[in-house]
Structure 1
Amino acid sequence: MKTIKCMMDHLYWADERIIDALEGSNTKNNDLLKLVRHVAVAERVWLSRLQGKGSAQYSLWEDAEDLTVIRTMFKENIEQYRVYIEGLEESALEVMIDYANQSGVSYRTSVRDILLQVLLHGQYHRGQINRALRIESADPVQVDYITFARL
């Protein structure tokens, strides 16, 4: 649990840094805004599944124009994930969760694997966002775990 909690703290930190970088870049690149919104919504989708709720109401790939709305989504995700993680016992990591994906296909996945998906998915897309910022001649932001660990 200690490792997952630490990695989740990194996720919260990295999400905030990537939003800060996007705001600082003043980018108008709709694909970038759509991608960062996708990260926030995907985190919310997985949390809903972990909480035993459906996720059909969430659209993973909508356009986004307002980083303030996305920042709010990230803040809400942080609050809800912290509550969820704090109440989670080590043994609960092996509990299997039944859920349907956004296309309605049913799956069964362990809590551990869902949390790892959340952690790795965001890191993947933050890398894509940083690359796009660099291409636009904007400053990418350091979001590597080791940078977080050194704080």
Structure 2
Amino acid sequence: MKTIKAMMEHLYWADERILTALQKSETRNKDLLKLVRHVAVAERVWLSRLHGKGSGQYSLWEEAEDLSVIRSMFEENAKQYRVYMEGLDQSRLDEMLDYANQSGVLFQTSVRDILSQVVLHGQYHRGQINQALRIESAEPVQIDYITFARL
């Protein structure tokens, strides 16, 4: 449980760092903004599923123009995930949850694997965002877990 909680804390930290780097870059790259919005929405989709709710109302790949709106999404996600994690008991990590993906296909996945997906999915895309910042000659940001763990 301690590891998953630490990984989630890293997620909040890394999300904030990547948002700050994007803001600092003043990028207008629509694909890049669409990608960072995707990360925020995906976090929200999984949280909805963890709460036993549907996620069909969320669109994972919409255009985004306003980084402040995306930032608000990440802040709300972090707040809600913190509440969820505080109420999560070790014994529930292997509990299986039934849900439908965005295409309506039914799946069953453990809470542990869902939380791992949230963490790893975000890190994958933050790496892509950093690469895009580098291509735009903007400064990428350090988001490695070890950097977070050394704080």
Q: TM-score, normalised by structure 1?
A: 0.99
Runs of 4+ in structure 1 over 6 Å off: none
Unaligned runs of 5+ in 2: none
1:26-60: CA deviations, max 9, x gaps? Answer: 11110100000000000000000000111000000
* CA root-mean-square deviation: 0.4
Unaligned runs of 5+ in 1: none
One-letter identity of the residue aligned with 1:25: S
What does residue 129 of structure 2 align with?
A: 129
What does residue 18 of structure 1 align with?
A: 18
What does residue 2 of structure 1 align with?
A: 2
CA distance in 2, matches of 1:148, 1:135: 25
CA distance in 2, matches of 1:126, 1:11: 10
Q: Alpha-carbon deviation of 1:135?
A: 0.5
Q: Alpha-carbon deviation of 1:65?
A: 0.3
Please state if 1:30 is matched with 2:27: no
Q: Alpha-carbon deviation of 1:111?
A: 0.3
1:119-144: CA deviations, max 9, x gaps? Answer: 00000000000001001100000000
Q: TM-score, normalised by structure 2?
A: 0.99
Count of residue correspondences: 151
CA distance in 2, matches of 1:150, 1:2: 16
One-letter identity of the residue aligned with 1:32: L
What does residue 42 of structure 1 align with?
A: 42
| SS in structure 2 of the partner of residue 94 of structure 1 | coil
CA distance in 2, matches of 1:43, 1:84: 13
Q: How does 1:84-99 map to 2 (within 5 A)?
A: 84-99=84-99
Identity %, equivalent residues: 79
| SS in structure 1 of the partner of residue 35 of structure 2 | helix
Q: Alpha-carbon deviation of 1:17?
A: 0.5
Q: Alpha-carbon deviation of 1:150?
A: 1.1
What does residue 141 of structure 1 align with?
A: 141
One-letter identity of the residue aligned with 2:41: V
CA distance in 2, matches of 1:118, 1:45: 10
CA distance in 2, matches of 1:132, 1:65: 16
